[in-house]
Amino acid sequence: MYLNQFLLLAAFLFSVGVYGVLARKNGVLVLMSIELILNAVNINLVAFGAFHDTVAGQVFALFVIAVAAAEVGVGLAIVLLIYRNRHSIDLSEVDLMKG
Amino acid sequence: MHAVLAAAQTLKAPDLDYFALAPEIVLTAVLVGILLLDVFVDETRKYLVTQVAGLGLLVSLVPVVALAANGADRSMLGGAYVVDNFALLVKALFLATGYVVLLMSSDYIGEGDYYEGEYSFLLLSSLLGMMVMGSSRDLITIFVALELLSIPAYLLAGWRKRDLRSNEACLKYYLLGVLASAVMLYGMSLIFGATGSTVLRTIGREVGGSVGEEPIVTLGIFFIVVGFAFKVSAVPFHFWAPDTYEGAPTPVTAFLSVASKAAGFVALLQLVYIGFFGREEVWGPLFWVLAALTMTVGNLVALRQTNVVRMLAYSSVAQAGYILVPFAVAGSNPAANATAQTAALVYLLIYAAMNLGAFAIVMAVARKTRSAEISSYGGLFTYAPGLTLLMSVFLFSLAGIPPLAGWFAKLYIFESALDAGTAAAVTLAVVAGLNAVIALFYYSAVAKEMWMRPVPDGDTTPIPVPPALAAALAFTAIVVVAVGVYPQAFARLGDLAQLTLR
């Protein structure tokens, strides 16, 4: 099996996700970028699980999917809260505290 | 489908040791209980929920003590969940911290009309995650425990829903927390790929052997350490901490700066001492840089703060730097390894008591002044001599002045660095020593304000301290003074709770 192809895809997704988190200003797009990183992790886990012929990789990936759902649920609630109080989800405007 | 059903017949339930799981089971029962109680009690009697939650925390401490008296190490699920002295010690720490935070918050949350029942529920959920973290010796368990303790904490940080600062605190904590756990997970996937296992003991054996030489292991260790560096707010991954601490409700800030940080260090201790122990040339220098930067930047920025909570936030960043010192020196020889573990654990225990105490005083003073500016502490001695004395005790303990507990914690850190004896370790000890001097400046600036300056608005009515807050203050103050006077007892606890790769 060609493990490298999966790893390269995952590394690419991870980089795109990190770039998105750092560069995007829209709250929802940042959440999507975080999902990209988590999916890069899932690809890695499943590919390595198949490579080592163990089920642990898939189990780990299932845990990641379930927990990511909870995480994004909380994240969307927070973005909604910000929108209600400020009428904008531009994260670069959220900077009352500095220093 | 038939094949799956046929296979299901042969599945066996895993062997669970219910005695070993008793603290978590009790805490879960309390969680469900207070959630139901919150539905059925009417609005004026919500304080009952907080009281039941507090009682529940004390009840979960009973099986922890029973397990400690029993003394046997218990391992289940193929070594993924272990209850040993280390796990019991940190569980007791988390339960005690949770109880003190609950004492501190009961009046604050009740008076502010801040959804009392849900607050206790989320606080206890987060504590449950920390309890699981103490026992997790497996990548999956560590990940699940980390999320279980973090997700309720994100919500708690934004508890004042209409307050823009609280919103900002919540958002920053959430985004950086989630990014950190995603980066950590990527590292975990690489470690799993290199070793083919998620159990830390197996990983430890593989990483110590020939697999450890692979670059993928180095990369995995790097990502995992960076992920946890966010969690414990180590420089350069600290920038969320001051904003979150300032914006979040003060009892939540105390909880985040003590319990959440301690949970991050507990996970790091398990990963480093069991999982990655064979590759100290990778994580040693990494922790060295993190420790030196964290201490120095935290202390220098704390110098120019005018808000007490923000100052304590940077001080807690700096304190995390001291706790990172034993990690940086642990790999050099076996003796240093043992002292370094004890040093990190003892520092965590003592730091919890003194930092919670300082935050309790900040809350008591803010009840009257409605402000956290350092200038509002002027002349505190003239109208609240008790609070002034206690605040001085906590601040000087944080600074490391004998005979208070913080002094002993710092002594242990220096001892671990000197035990290692390498040039790098000694240099780090010197950096830590210089930082202790810098820290004294800003801690004593607050003390000077309280003891010497006049009252800013001339209002010298005494501060009423509610009984719960007074109990929290008394408990933390007794620990800080008692450990300072009899440090041997605490060192013994730390020595008993050693983690080793067998």
Cβ-based neighbour number of residue B338 at 10 Å:
17
Residue B220 · residue B191 · CB < 8 Å? yes
CA B199 to chain A, closest CA, distance in angstroms equals 10
Buried b (16+ CB within 10 A) or exposed e, B355-388: bbbbbbbbbbbbebbeebebebbbbbbeebeebb
- Residue B458, by phi and psi: left (phi above 0), alpha (psi -120 to 50) or beta? left
Write out the H or E segment, with its range, that includes residue A1: none
Give the residue from chain A lying closest to B145, CA to CA.
Answer: A67
Q: Which residues of B66-103 are buried (b: 16+ CB within 10 A; e: fewer)?
A: ebeeeeeebbbbeebbbbbbbbbbbbbbbbbbbbbbbb
Q: Is residue A90 within 8 Å of residue A26, measured between CB atoms?
A: yes
Here the ipTM equals 0.95
Q: Hey, is B501 helix, strand or coil?
A: coil
Q: What is the mean pLDDT of residues A49-65?
A: 92
For residue B183, the model assigns a pLDDT of: 94
**What are the structural domain ranges in chain A?**
3-93
Nearest CB among B167, B198, B242 relative to A60 is that of B198
Round to whole Å and give the CA distance between B413 and B417: 6
How far lies B12's CA from each of B8, B166, B197, B206, B418, in Å?
9, 48, 21, 29, 51
Alpha-carbon radius of gyration of chain A: 17
Residue the block writes with tokens 């209980």: B33
Q: What is the pLDDT of residue B128?
A: 96
**CB atoms near residue B260 (< 10 Å):** 24
Start-to-end C-alpha separation, chain A? 52
pLDDT at residue A11 greater than cutoff 60:
yes
Task: Say if the Cβ atoms of B167 and A81 lie within 8 Å.
Answer: yes
- Helices B405-420, B487-496: axis angle to 10 degrees equals 50
Check if A20 contacts B (Cβ < 8 Å): no
- pLDDT-derived band at A99, boundaries 50, 70, 90: low
A 10 A CB-CB count for B25 gives: 14
CATH fold of A3-93 reads: Helix Hairpins (1.10.287)
Helix%, strand%, coil% for chain B, nearest 5: 80, 0, 15
E-assigned strands of B238-397? none
Question: Does A57 lie at the interface with B, CB-CB under 8 angstroms?
Answer: yes
Query: Who among B144, B154, B246 is closest to A97 (CB)?
Result: B246
From first to last of its 502 residues, chain B has per-residue pLDDT tens of 676 677 777 777 777 888 999 999 999 999 999 999 988 988 888 888 889 999 999 999 999 999 988 878 888 888 889 998 899 999 999 999 999 999 998 888 777 767 888 899 999 999 999 999 999 999 999 999 999 999 999 999 998 888 888 899 999 999 999 999 999 999 999 999 999 999 999 999 888 888 777 889 999 999 999 999 999 999 888 889 999 999 999 999 999 999 999 999 999 999 988 888 888 888 889 999 999 999 999 999 999 889 999 999 999 999 999 999 999 888 777 777 888 888 899 999 999 999 999 999 999 988 888 888 888 888 888 888 899 999 999 999 999 888 888 888 899 899 888 888 888 889 999 999 999 999 999 999 999 988 888 888 777 888 888 999 999 999 999 999 998 888 887 777 777 777 765 5
CB contact, 8 Å: A23 with chain B?
no
Structure tokens at B299: 């202390």
> Mutate which of A31, A59, A67 to disrupt the B interface (most B C-beta within 10 Å)?
A67
pLDDT of B255 reads 95
Of B174, B190, B247, nearest to A44 by CB-CB distance is B190
Residues 60-99 of A with CB under 8 A from B: 60, 63-64, 67, 70-71, 74-75, 77-78, 81-82, 85-86, 91, 94-99
**B120 with B179: CB under 8 angstroms?**
no
